[in-house]
Amino acid sequence: MIEQLSWKVGGQQGEGIESTGEIFSTALNRLGYYLYGYRHFSSRIKGGHTNNKIRVSTKPVRAVADDLDILVAFDQETIDFNFHELHSGGIVIADAKFNPVIPEGKGVALYAVPFTDIATQLGNPLMKNMVAIGATSAVLDLDAAVFESVVVDTFGRKGAQVVGKNMEAIRAGAQYMKDELNGQAKTMKLAKADGKRRMFMIGNDAIALGAIAGGARFMAAYPITPASEIMEYLIKKLPDFGGAVIQTEDEIAACTMAIGANYAGVRAFTASAGPGLSLMAEAIGLAGMTETPLVVVDTQRGGPSTGLPTKQEQSDLLAMIYGTHGEIPKIVMAPSTVEEAFYDMAEAFNLAEEYQCPVIFLSDLQLSLGKQTVEPLDYDRVEIRRGKLMNGELPPLPDKDNFKRYEITPDGVSPRVLPGTKYGIHHVTGVEHAETGRPSETAANRRAQMEKRMRKLEHIHFPTPVHKQLRHEEPDLLLIGFLSTRGAIEEAMERLEQDGVKVNHAHIRLLHPFPVDDIRPLVEKAKRVVVVEQNATGQLANLLKMNVGHADKIASVLKFDGNPFLPGDVYTKCKELLAQWPPLKISAMM
């Protein structure tokens, strides 16, 4: 009986690898298991190795597993590329068609199952994926019937016959494997799950759902990996809310259009990845200067330039904080789980309106595309707050006077009226301007308006700027990260604790303005600090040093090879650093 399973299916891109993983994991999710999936794919449509690694557990999991119990292979390349992840006792289930071979001596068993032949005999070679799922279910001692509801959902619109054939393929695969195993001890019987129905979604789903829940009714966007799912979801759903999505000619248009829509009173946003964000830099500055609310999602991927478009990285951080010319107030937030991605995205629209500034909602490829089981989302927790937006009728202004849209106020936030409002006329410009919005270049006005804008975020109210897991008053080690590394850090922390290391963990959810008051005491009390992040220069570590000091006790664990952190990566590198503290080099790279 096992509590946890690490399963991977691999083959050529375009061969249905994704749907194999999808059907397998959705069915297990429906049984109440906690799932965490991560896809390895390339920037091409057909061909090239792709795989989907799925972790199944009776308890919540938020990281890719270090190793592998079962590898389902549709080609030899899958075995060659992934075999090293299998532990002793692991299983390879491969299509007999390509005469699979595995390296000797690791204690891994190979089962060559005629996926393609069985599928062809049943009438369609494409059903080889179903045969593979069936073979897996036999190893796990799962009844083939558990896949039925998912098969119905997936193929139902193609008719009952297609559904029937696919189920037949699953059963045939299961039967073949049962005969093959012949009662051998190779079965990895999964402990029973709690049977609760939970959501199973990627981070981008949660971001998109959070946007709608947060009142977003307009989106302008340009397709890009790994952000496109957000716009695709809104294109499907916004018509129900009277809203619209425009696929623009480029990201400059997307961001600027979202600014125009926000200015006119709709909660509007855009979503992109690094290259798109680079193009949007000027527009984000416009939103900052004109104090127009704006939400921009950046699903980080491997940079620079086109970089690694389908791989994990967290290297946009400093560009997102500082990446406009001149100085503007800006909020940069980064959820650490899919659940937080939902709530934080909804909240981003409140912050944008309350502080009348751009909000950069950071994600990363692993968080955006990793598919996982999600705890129930509570819509009652979603608030709509519109800050100083003026409602109702305004008093008449003296003849031809402008409404003071940029009135100097103690908190820096000025009353905001929407175009179309009687007696609210004012000018908006990216040129430095006076309280009425009219251009002004006087030194006194410049100082007053600059100070007013920067003052807005001095006392920002952000619900949970830091997710803290504090077990010790004075820990040996404080681990710090942001976004999708949370799961890997949490698991590494458990292992370090088992080794007797006292570990605290802080995952930063508000990157800018930096939550100095929340972080500083944690850093001060820790003997050592290790910042875990997916870039080559230690951007978060540098931000930390800049804001709270203590550079002499802050080291980095960095990974920038395109793959997500595994718990074992963090654990091993932390052990290395602790064994030789102070580290000779400030960074330990993966």
Partner 1 sequence: MATFKDFRNDVKPNWCPGCGDFSVQAAIQRAAANLGLEPHQLAVISGIGCSGRISGYIHSYGFHGTHGRVLPLAQGVKMANRDLTVIAAGGDGDGFAIGMGHTVHAIRRNIDITYIVMDNQIYGLTKGQTSPRSAAGFQTKSTPYGSIEPALSPLEIALSAGATFVAQGFSSDLKELTSLIEEGVKHKGFALINVFSPCVTYNKVNTYEWFKERLVKISDIEGYDPSDREKAMQTVMKYDGLVTGIIYQNKEQKSYQELVPGYSETPLAEAELKMSKEKFAELVAEFM
Instruction: Please report whether residue 355 would count as binding partner 1 according to CB under 8 A.
Output: no
Q: Is 124 exposed, middle or buried (0-12, 13-18, 19+ CB in 10 A)?
A: middle
Range 218-257, binding partner 1 (CB under 8 A)? 218, 220, 237-244, 246, 248-250, 252-257
Q: How far is the CB of 209 from partner 1 (least distance, A)?
A: 6
Instruction: Please report whether residue 326 would count as binding partner 1 according to CB under 8 A.
Output: no
What are 122's two structure tokens? 């049943």
What are 5's two structure tokens? 């399973």
Within 8 A by CB and 6+ apart from 31, the residues are 146, 193, 195
Biggest CA-to-CA distance, the chain: 92
Q: What are the contacts of 458-464 at 24+ separation with CB within 8 A?
A: 458/412, 458/513, 459/411, 460/331, 460/351, 460/355, 460/510, 460/513, 462/331, 462/333, 462/351, 462/509, 462/510, 462/515, 463/347, 464/509
Strand positions, DSSP E, 23-67: 34-40, 49-57
Instruction: Please report whether residue 268 would count as binding partner 1 according to CB under 8 A.
Output: yes
Instruction: Please report whether residue 420 would count as binding partner 1 according to CB under 8 A.
Output: yes
Instruction: Please report whether residue 430 would count as binding partner 1 according to CB under 8 A.
Output: yes
Q: Which helix (H) or strand (E) holds 221?
A: strand 218-221
Range 484-543, binding partner 1 (CB under 8 A)? none
Q: How far is the CB of 512 from partner 1 (least distance, A)?
A: 23
Instruction: Please report whether residue 388 would count as binding partner 1 according to CB under 8 A.
Output: no
Residue type, 7: W
Range 6-35, binding partner 1 (CB under 8 A)? 30
- Residue from 176, 263, 343, 571 touching partner 1 (CB under 8 A): that is 263
Choose between 109 and 428: whose C-beta lies nearer to partner 1. 428
Instruction: Please report whether residue 46 would count as binding partner 1 according to CB under 8 A.
Output: no
- Residue from 133, 266, 345, 544 touching partner 1 (CB under 8 A): that is 266
Of 47-55, 131-139, 223-231, 263-271, which part binds partner 1 (CB under 8 A)?
263-271
Q: Which helix (H) or strand (E) holds 524?
A: helix 516-525
Range 53-112, binding partner 1 (CB under 8 A)? none
The answer to whether 478 and 530 have CB atoms below 8 angstroms apart is yes
Instruction: Please report whether residue 150 would count as binding partner 1 according to CB under 8 A.
Output: no
Choose between 125 and 387: whose C-beta lies nearer to partner 1. 387
The sign of the dihedral angle between the CA atoms of 123, 124, 125, 131 is negative
Choose between 38 and 200: whose C-beta lies nearer to partner 1. 200
Of 47-55, 180-188, 193-201, 518-526, which part binds partner 1 (CB under 8 A)?
193-201
Choose between 375 and 494: whose C-beta lies nearer to partner 1. 375
Q: How far is the CB of 174 from partner 1 (least distance, A)?
A: 25
Range 396-415, binding partner 1 (CB under 8 A)? 400, 402
Instruction: Please report whether residue 198 would count as binding partner 1 according to CB under 8 A.
Output: yes
Q: How far is the CB of 21 from partner 1 (least distance, A)?
A: 16
Instruction: Please report whether residue 424 would count as binding partner 1 according to CB under 8 A.
Output: yes
Q: What are the contacts of 427-434 at 24+ separation with CB within 8 A?
A: 427/402, 428/263, 428/290, 428/292, 429/290, 430/285, 430/286, 430/289, 430/290, 432/289, 433/406, 434/406
Of 212-220, 222-230, 455-463, 550-558, which part binds partner 1 (CB under 8 A)?
212-220
Choose between 117 and 432: whose C-beta lies nearer to partner 1. 432
User: What does the DSSP assignment read for 470-522?
Assistant: ---SS-SEEEEE-GGGHHHHHHHHHHHHHTT--EEEEEESEEES--HHHHHHH
Kindly determine how many residues on this chain lie close enough to bind partner 1 according to the rule CB under 8 A: 72
